Structure 1
Amino acid sequence: MRKTVCLFLLVLSSVLQAQTLMNKDSLLKLLPDVKEDTNAVLLYINIGQQYESNEPELAKAYYRKAWELSKKIDYPLGIIKFIANYTFVLNQQGLYDSSLYYNLKSVELSRQIKDSVYLAKTLFNTGTSYRALGNYEKAVTYYLEGQKLFAKINQPDKEALINDLLQVLYMDLHQYSKAITYGELSVKLYRQLNLPNNLGIALNNLGANYAFKKQFGKAIPLFKEALAISRKVNDMSMEANQMLNLGDAYMNFGNYDRMKENYDMALQLNRKLKAYEGEAIALRGISMYYQFTKQFNLAKKFGLDALAITESYNLVPEKSKMLNNLANISFSLQDIKTGYSYSQQSKLLQDSLLNETIQKNALNLEKKYQFGQKEIRIKQLETEKKLHELSLHQKNILNHILIVGGVTLLIISLLSYRNYKQKQKLQQQRINELETQQQLIATEAVLKGEEQERTRIAKDLHDGLGGMLSGIKFSFNGMKGNLIMTPENTQAFERSMDMLDSSIKEMRRVAHNMMPEALVKFGLDTALKDFCNEINNSGALKISYQSIGLENVTLEQTTAITIYRIIQELISNTLKHASAKTAIVQVTKSGSLLAITVEDDGKGFDTKILDWSKGMGWVNIKHRVDFLKGRLDVNSQLGNGTSVQIEVDI
């Protein structure tokens, strides 16, 4: 739920009345003739108020003009009024740190001019800034000091505002029943006073309290009334808040169409206002709508848009929520890895927010403790000067204990964080190892299946078809001596026999390529020599084969076959694509390292095409190198040939 806290806008009642009577154009017409005095300051502020609901950046620009002029003419009340109006816009934009900075300056200036009315107002504004930053103790301190000053002023509108502020404060403390009590009083007073802007804010906050108690039947009418007021007074910021609140309420009711309608309008308004937190919330709401309606890709799109905004403007709590939503969306899309990543990021942010809260509380407690110690020390010095040294000694010991305790806590925190990161790293490493292992198992199965099938086909060709063709040739030779043929028939018979011989040779060549007999019987070195000699004898390419350290070396059969296929595929690529005349095949074994080099003097190519190449030859080469857990390096330039180096641990 979005909460709205009304800041005191420090302008005189007469100016407020002029604002209601004059429109924006009338005020702008006064600018050319205005003199640099207090009236000009009030005019700039009045113009800024006309823009703050719909064009906040333009409003801030006019407020800054009022500030510059107030400093120039030494008008402290003008500076206080600038701060009150400027911080109102900053709060609407979620810039609470900047708002607190200016409000503290305003309190200091009000104390200097000794104006109790303005001091009371600036104290409440500062308390509101502290409340927005989660420092409730400081907020209560400033509220109570301001309340004491307001008690001397009989003004019902201030009483209504105080009740609304207390409503929001107890809302932040999750004491919703108590907050509702103050909220009902505030709404009642504002209805009697007929102050629509303030009534809209109080209705919004009261509706939020009912929503937090899951009483949406009571919350929705309040939000709708606040929405009607915002449109009546042309307050776009309030309207955007109501759209977000209604979207959330309808989501809890399960009315997703109304939910989407309100979040869409909230998105448009917040973008126009440049209210980045509201824009992120609206995008998250739309993403959740698509998630509920099982349109997960659209849900992911809007979720990523919301995440980008939270990262750009450091909206940490909203970022944590959006990461959690994206995790759920990714799981719905069966993207477990991405979902797990988003989930872990969300948990880290939640832990970070919790740690910040703990650190703030620890610092506050430490400050309280130190302040208490100083008071005790002063009293001791006033009553017994003789205990001064003892008291100082005790304080030093205590400080040392605190320092040691703090250092110890810091070390424990760092070690815990380091341990957590290490576990996370090991988990990710294990996942990567499992993925790699699965890929290698799959590749091994494919390669073994492929070689088994090649062996079977080669055997079938050699033993089956080869035997049949040889039998046919033998039969034809037997028939030749028993037949009487004309010269023409004899010539045709001889051509047929030649064609049969060529078929037998081609069948043997194919069978040999599918599973070289030399590789199985004599090993890799002999098989590669035979392969290169066959290419040389064909005249298609001149290959120089060199082997070092392979004599009397027996490799595991799967490894030997895989290396043979890699070199066979590389030479095949050279024959098909390189237009080369010569090539070198070099295989070197040194210890457990086997180095393979295949070079040619062909036309070369741009190696970048390998990044997106989908040719089966190149894909097979990479898969086989990966299967052997080897390293592959390709160097080539247009016109300068190609060199491929492969290293494998065997």
Structure 2
Amino acid sequence: MKQRYFLPEASILNLNPRLNSGLKSWDCAILASRQGGKSQFLTACLLILAVAFSPLVASAADITQQLHRPLDRSTLRDSRDQADSLLNIGEQQYQLGYADKTLDSCLQALEIYHSLGDYKAQGMTYDLLAKAYIQLDRLQEGEDALRRRLAIARDTKDFQSQIFALNNISTVLLQKGEFIPAGKTVQEALEIAQNVQNIAGEGLSLSNWGLVNARVGNYSKAIKLYETALSFRRQSGDVIGETNTLNNLGDAYLAMGNYDDTIGTYGAALRIAKTTRDRTNYVRAIDGLVTAHSSVGRNERAFDLLEQRLAMARDSQNLREEFGVFMTYAKIYEKLNNYLTARNFYERALVLARTLEDSKQEVFLVDKLTKLPKR
């Protein structure tokens, strides 16, 4: 059973094989922008179905308020079917971007699984709860859900789930800026993976340990860890994991000013992501390459890549990504002292900032345009 994790690796691990069998559209990470074009119609249809078949909102206020009432034998099958349905609806709601509705569905499912004494199903539900909480930027609640998932994995001696739960907890701690606990947690995951000879877990843990080192500025150690992680990820056939690690490695080279290795590493990530249609890593690799090429004066190549990036943003109707492309264009032209073109892109970015109701960027851009030379 393949398991996945989140944050710069992309997003939280999907530890639910039953959901994956019917919903293969992951691999877009916590994240990933999925709306756009014809997919809006499909999205609307899926949402209508999810809402139409969704039961009443859970009465539980949070994941600590689960009921403990036993169920009659005659109701066990119906109860399990209901819980499974709720969990599937929750996954659909999450993929459609309705994390708040995912919480309601998961909390109801959790009540039933608790009554049934189904620890495996409870673990999968906590995984989805964590994903939803983190998407809503409720990191503490997401961490709490992951720790409950870890406790179940330890009680059932499920070492693989322990490895991935620890990695997920580590990435949440990293998001919270708690670098030392994040490092200790991922090292615990690595130790378990090594003890049970879980190659995929070793690759993931080494990559995340590299990420912790990169966040504290220890890029040399991060690079060594990433390089070792790549070996394990290739052995396990984890192509998406390999691409993630390549992008992490590119980030580290870029931070050190090693542009040749930066371009080569991001280029490798780009090729793999294109082949596997991994949009998240493809976009990440393009952004890294744009920065690297523009840093060494290869502006034509940077502009070619930006055109691809802009086309992707427009195809998916992702205004936030389009805003980012305009900002990158503007910064490069400003660096080239082409203030007229830079102003044009800053103005286009300002329009999008207002559309997105991003007051912080709006204030920044108004000030930027005021100070930018007019010639």
Q: Are residues 254 and 99 of structure 1, via their aligned partners in 2, closer, same or farther at CA, if it must alter by over 3 Å?
A: same
Q: Are residues 107 and 314 of structure 1, via their aligned partners in 2, closer, same or farther at CA, if it must alter by over 3 Å?
A: farther
Give deviations 1:266-307, integer Å, cap 9, x for gaps. 222323333333222222222223212212222122123223
Note the 1:481-630 alignment, pairs <5 A.
none
Alpha-carbon distance in structure 2 between the residues aligned to 1:127 and 1:272:
30
Task: Tell me, yes or no, if structure 1 residue 112 matches structure 2 residue 112.
Answer: yes
Aligned-pair CA distance for 1:146: 4.3
Aligned-pair CA distance for 1:106: 4.2
**Which residue is equivalent to 1:243?**
246
Greater RCO, 1 or 2 (C-alpha within 8 Å, sep 6+): 2
Q: Are residues 305 and 285 of structure 1, via their aligned partners in 2, closer, same or farther at CA, if it must alter by over 3 Å?
A: same
Using the size of structure 1 for normalisation, the TM-score is 0.41
CA contact (8 A) 2:153 2:159 kept: no
CA contact (8 A) 1:96 1:132 kept: no
CA contact (8 A) 2:15 2:127 kept: no
Q: Are residues 101 and 208 of structure 1, via their aligned partners in 2, closer, same or farther at CA, if it must alter by over 3 Å?
A: farther
Which one of the candidate residues 7, 23, 29 is aligned to 2:13? 7
Paired residue type of 2:201: N
CA contact (8 A) 1:2 1:241 kept: yes
**Which residue is equivalent to 2:131?**
128
Task: Tell me, yes or no, if structure 1 residue 190 matches structure 2 residue 193.
Answer: yes
Q: Are residues 46 and 313 of structure 1, via their aligned partners in 2, closer, same or farther at CA, if it must alter by over 3 Å?
A: closer
Which one of the candidate residues 221, 241, 254 is aligned to 1:218? 221
CA contact (8 A) 2:150 2:166 kept: no
Aligned-pair CA distance for 1:324: 3.5
Note the 1:166-565 alignment, pairs <5 A.
166-313=169-316, 319=322, 321-343=324-346
Alpha-carbon distance in structure 2 between the residues aligned to 1:353 and 1:157:
43
Q: Are residues 52 and 147 of structure 1, via their aligned partners in 2, closer, same or farther at CA, if it must alter by over 3 Å?
A: closer
Aligned-pair CA distance for 1:152: 4.7
- Structure 1: segments with no counterpart, 5+ residues: 12-41, 58-63, 65-70, 358-415, 436-650
Alpha-carbon distance in structure 1 between the residues aligned to 2:20 and 2:368:
54
Q: Are residues 115 and 196 of structure 1, via their aligned partners in 2, closer, same or farther at CA, if it must alter by over 3 Å?
A: farther
Give deviations 1:93-139, integer Å, cap 9, x for gaps. xx572577557534423423434411233123211332144221432
Paired residue type of 1:109: A
Q: Are residues 176 and 323 of structure 1, via their aligned partners in 2, closer, same or farther at CA, if it must alter by over 3 Å?
A: farther
Alpha-carbon distance in structure 2 between the residues aligned to 1:316 and 1:160:
36
Paired residue type of 2:13: L
Paired residue type of 1:324: M
CA contact (8 A) 1:170 1:176 kept: yes
- The aligned length equals 318
Give deviations 1:511-534, integer Å, cap 9, x for gaps. xxxxxxxxxxxxxxxxxxxxxxxx
Alpha-carbon distance in structure 2 between the residues aligned to 1:221 and 1:103:
39
Paired residue type of 1:187: L
Aligned-pair CA distance for 1:173: 1.0
Alpha-carbon distance in structure 2 between the residues aligned to 1:308 and 1:155:
44
Q: Are residues 192 and 47 of structure 1, via their aligned partners in 2, closer, same or farther at CA, if it must alter by over 3 Å?
A: farther
CA contact (8 A) 2:226 2:248 kept: yes
Q: Are residues 181 and 353 of structure 1, via their aligned partners in 2, closer, same or farther at CA, if it must alter by over 3 Å?
A: farther
Q: Are residues 333 and 355 of structure 1, via their aligned partners in 2, closer, same or farther at CA, if it must alter by over 3 Å?
A: closer
Task: Tell me, yes or no, if structure 1 residue 161 matches structure 2 residue 167.
Answer: no
CA contact (8 A) 2:87 2:125 kept: no
**Which residue is equivalent to 2:4?**
none
CA contact (8 A) 1:107 1:119 kept: no
Paired residue type of 2:130: G
- Structure 2: segments with no counterpart, 5+ residues: 1-6, 29-33, 35-45, 47-52, 54-76
CA contact (8 A) 2:286 2:305 kept: yes
Identity %: 15
Aligned-pair CA distance for 1:209: 1.7
Q: Are residues 46 and 304 of structure 1, via their aligned partners in 2, closer, same or farther at CA, if it must alter by over 3 Å?
A: closer
CA contact (8 A) 1:4 1:204 kept: no
Alpha-carbon distance in structure 2 between the residues aligned to 1:354 and 1:178:
33
**Which residue is equivalent to 2:97?**
97
Q: Secondary structure at the match of 1:97?
A: coil
Q: Which has the larger radius of gyration?
A: 1
Give deviations 1:47-84, integer Å, cap 9, x for gaps. 988x9779xx9xxxxxx9xxxxxx9x974576578679
Paired residue type of 2:213: Y
Alpha-carbon distance in structure 2 between the residues aligned to 1:295 and 1:345:
24
Q: Are residues 3 and 152 of structure 1, via their aligned partners in 2, closer, same or farther at CA, if it must alter by over 3 Å?
A: same
CA contact (8 A) 1:104 1:126 kept: no
Using the size of structure 2 for normalisation, the TM-score is 0.67
CA contact (8 A) 1:103 1:122 kept: no
Alpha-carbon distance in structure 2 between the residues aligned to 1:288 and 1:192:
40
Q: Which is richer in strand?
A: 1
Q: Are residues 46 and 220 of structure 1, via their aligned partners in 2, closer, same or farther at CA, if it must alter by over 3 Å?
A: same
Q: Secondary structure at the match of 1:174?
A: coil
